[in-house]
Amino acid sequence: MTIAYDDQNIFAKILRGEIPSEPIAETEHSLAFRDIRPQAPVHVLVIPKGAYVTYADFARDASEAEIVDFTRLVGQLAEELDLVPSPGGGGHRLISNAGADAHQEVPHMHIHLLGGRALGGLLPAM
């Protein structure tokens, strides 16, 4: 069972222009803006403009045009923001939280693009 989309979530309000954000890129189907509580020197959120709660909802229900647009934007931003892995270091991490176990705070599908420092292990030990 999936969670119904709540159009009063913060990212829906950002998309409608009801609250401000710090946008860095916008395409036909996607928007990227700075996270308000950055966890790394670069911490960008990329969201589809459509009403999807989780990545799985997006993958199932979005059109191919939306999926291509979103996927390309994430990759382009990693390059444009200089988060490309090189022999000397660099790189980035992509995270998409879904639901309570993952501590998803905003129920509008998003990917965190993080980089600019060594990010450590993926998760604390069990």
Kindly list the residues in this chain that would bind ligand AMP in the complex (CB under 6 A).
10, 19, 21, 35-37, 45, 97, 103-106
Whether 110 is catalytic: yes
Paired tokens of 50: 């459509």
Q: How far is the CB of 116 from ligand AMP (least distance, A)?
A: 15
Q: How far is the CB of 62 from ligand AMP (least distance, A)?
A: 18
Residue with Cβ nearer ligand AMP (88 or 120): 120
For 54-120, what is the HEC assignment? Answer: CHHHHHHHCCHHHHHHHHHHHHHHHHHCCCCCECCECCEEEECCCCHHHCCCCCCCCEEEEECCCCC
Candidate list 29, 92, 110, 112, residue with the active-site label? 110
Residues forming the active site:
110
